[in-house]
Amino acid sequence: MRLFCHVFFLALALRASRSMASSSAGSQDWSSAILIIVDQSGKGDFTKIQDAIDAVPSNNTEPIFIRIEPGIYREKIVVPADKPFITLSGTKAKSTIITWNEGWNTVESPTASVLASDFVGRYLTIQNTFGSSGQAIALRVAGDRVAFYGCRFFSFQDTLLDDTGRHYYTNCYIEGATDFICGNGQALFEKCHLHSVSTNGGAITAQRRESALDNTGYSFVSCKVTGVGVGTTFLGRPWGAYSRVVFAFTYMTNSVAAQGWDDWGDPNKQRTAFYGQYRCYGPGSDLSGRVGWSRPLSVSEASQFVTKSWIDGRNWLRPRPAHFRNFSTLIVRSPNGSG
């Protein structure tokens, strides 16, 4: 059964990729989208976010824009792998909150799981209020070509599971204490604020790259790193032996420990992990106390990590739609007649 599911979802991913390639050739108009409104007061198309997602037909090829009116949505949401091209958008992250309270027991435990490719999240707060007693994912991202704009993510341990695929985060706030950005995605974080609530040496990142041939890793560009104490935060530790994380042009407060990085109790990973820093500033950016197996990057070394080319973003990042079509057009197109 596990092999069947793997093959099934791989087939869906390939189908979405082909659809995206066709769209890139000019067949898809990204300037318009079908609009679905989620409003707890009952004035929209749905009162729950998951109901709106469920209304999108499988193997969707239409840009879908789900606008979420302000409110606290106490629900766990999943964007399935066979529903690409969905945008979930609030108007302000602080007033559009998706919240759940569950420890990481299964892959279904995150507050929000994005399994589909070509997904966009805008102006949302996604949080897991499980607390400090264990792993608790707020957001899992396992689709390819996924972007988040102006969002906020809160938990304590493993806040953001940036699992697989190419991802872009800009102007986002990410808070946690232990490994709160983790996984084996290939991600660019641009102008994001990373805030550690650790008081005893928690790590911001736990990137899981397992092979030198694996083209994954996390790049933080023009970001800000803050924390609740002096020297209480590591920039990262290697979940995978070839863990790869780069910070560039980033402001670091004195919450960053002088050594910068931790080997997770396995000295062998010191030889294979790739941890770099380029033109960062602030009291926590001082390289003089860094562990010897991290590296200050040269211009040529840093160049591959500091632009959207790192995630091939110029080929798939798209602007917000300017025009919207009525939800009824989606119902008509749905093979079930009702979405």
> Which residues form the catalytic set?
158, 179
| DSSP output for 215-271 | --EEEEES-EEEESSTT-EEEE--SSTT-EEEEES-EE-TTB-TT-B--TT-GGGGG
The C-alpha atoms of residue 96 and residue 267 are separated, in whole angstroms, by: 44
**Kind and range of the H or E run holding 302:** helix 299-303
Rounded Cα distance, 226 and 175, in Å: 10
* Number of other CB atoms surrounding residue 213 within 10 Å: 7
Q: What is the CA radius of gyration of the chain?
A: 20
Q: How many CA atoms lie within 13 A of 80 on its CB side?
A: 17
